Structure 1
């Protein structure tokens, strides 16, 4: 994840070179008017289908692409709101969101993962970044790792002053954003470990095996997912179960 983050920073720096040609600036500004990937906000089960909804460019076409060249699409309205209906899969489903405008497209760096036909966690995976859960989740929503770094993340009630995370003998305090979302880098760890967040203990099972593609398996109290992102980057994401209320 560190390499991915550094690469992203370098790309941003390269895009901010001083005094670009006028035509280049015009082209960049024009691209920014439409070339933004869709933002997936929620996934709901409606009979035999899953309804994926969110925000995109007004009147743009939103496409969700599967690994086997399947695609599901819908047009956003004049406000940018969209709903894409996806037949509920028999098992797991990994989709790449994309915005289309004319002959151009803007694929998202994120991946929408739906586990167990929507009965399991539903998340947005991000290479080198924190997983964002769309289903009901505990305070610790995910732990992402690439064999070198681990990133814990989750969501709490908006207005929470700070979240206390205990890992590897260290106590870390992180301030959530306005929506209650937070993330923090954890100390390195080779094997399973107890992680305590907001007073609850979670047992991280450790990194998954080195197989490529999507592998999702149950652990004692959650799901461990091995997946491959853009550029072949391999990442493990652990998704703790929500405690029934």
Structure 2
């Protein structure tokens, strides 16, 4: 499923909101179909370290099997409880690890368009990458959590402190006011830009280093005061993501 950020903007503006949401799930061919329910891919909510292991937790179909697959063929799985909660324990990676979540309900497999990326053996950012949408950070992050770009438009996003009414974002001479949602998450479109740019969010300056170099493979590099990633989503959609460090330079 390929969704460019530019296409997402049109849908978002039509709904009078800026945040991007995952695609609507398809109905399962078995299992939940009998009750007229809709199967959905798993939602990754938290990643915690437990000694030499990482525990990935979230929500899925009740009692469904949740699988995290890596590009090298390794798979980690667990079953959700009756409430749909699951925990998957996996060894902490040596370096970077990209995982593809999916739900299995009976004979039906529901892959998620999202990707779970764990950087620097879990010592770096831990994020959920979303094709055509805002990256969601699961680690401690600064006011500006990520900037996603498809080469045409940029999407800045982050998470504000509880009770915050609005977040001010300054970019390219524009001053934008963004209202966080109930969880404090916010996102806003920025005009396209070639090269680096200073972006001011909630009292702190961030230097976006520009697009990552084109690549069909996952690339991860340090760039400026943060991590820059080039990755490919379902259907070949390519996206560049920059993750600022928690502390400034």
Structure 2 residue 224 is the aligned partner of structure 1 residue 223: no
* TM-align CA RMSD: 2.3
Q: 1:123 touches 1:133 (CA, 8 Å); kept in 2?
A: yes
Give the equivalent residue in structure 2 for 1:20.
none
Alignment of 1:48-127 (within 5 A): 48-127=52-131
Q: 2:5 touches 2:149 (CA, 8 Å); kept in 1?
A: no
For each residue in 1:114-140, what CA deviation from the matched residue of structure 2 results, as whole angstroms up to 9, or x when unmatched?
000100000000010000000000010
Give the equivalent residue in structure 2 for 1:175.
179
Q: 2:64 touches 2:103 (CA, 8 Å); kept in 1?
A: yes
Structure 2 residue 48 is the aligned partner of structure 1 residue 44: yes
Give the equivalent residue in structure 1 for 2:146.
142
**Structure possessing the higher relative contact order (Cα contacts under 8 Å, 6 or more residues apart):** 2
Give the equivalent residue in structure 2 for 1:154.
158
Secondary structure of the corresponding residue to residue 37 of structure 2: helix
Give the equivalent residue in structure 1 for 2:5.
2
Query: CA–CA distance in 2 between the matches of 1:186 and 1:6?
Result: 11
The range that moved more, 158-167 or 140-149, is 158-167
Give the equivalent residue in structure 1 for 2:214.
210
Q: Which structure: greater helix fraction?
A: 1
Instruction: Measure how far apart 1:177 and its partner are.
Output: 0.6
Q: Which contiguous aligned blocks of 4+ residues in structure 1 show a shift greater than 4 angstroms?
A: 6-9, 25-29
Query: CA–CA distance in 2 between the matches of 1:172 and 1:34?
Result: 37
Instruction: Measure how far apart 1:49 and its partner are.
Output: 1.1
Q: What is the number of residues matched between the two proteins?
A: 230
For each residue in 1:29-75, what CA deviation from the matched residue of structure 2 results, as whole angstroms up to 9, or x when unmatched?
83872510111111011112111011111111000011112110001
Give the equivalent residue in structure 2 for 1:19.
none
Give the equivalent residue in structure 2 for 1:190.
194
TM-score where L is the length of structure 2: 0.87
TM-score where L is the length of structure 1: 0.88
Query: CA–CA distance in 2 between the matches of 1:149 and 1:59?
Result: 39
Query: CA–CA distance in 2 between the matches of 1:146 and 1:35?
Result: 29
Give the equivalent residue in structure 1 for 2:19.
none
Q: Structure 2: which 5+ residue stretches go unaligned?
A: 13-23
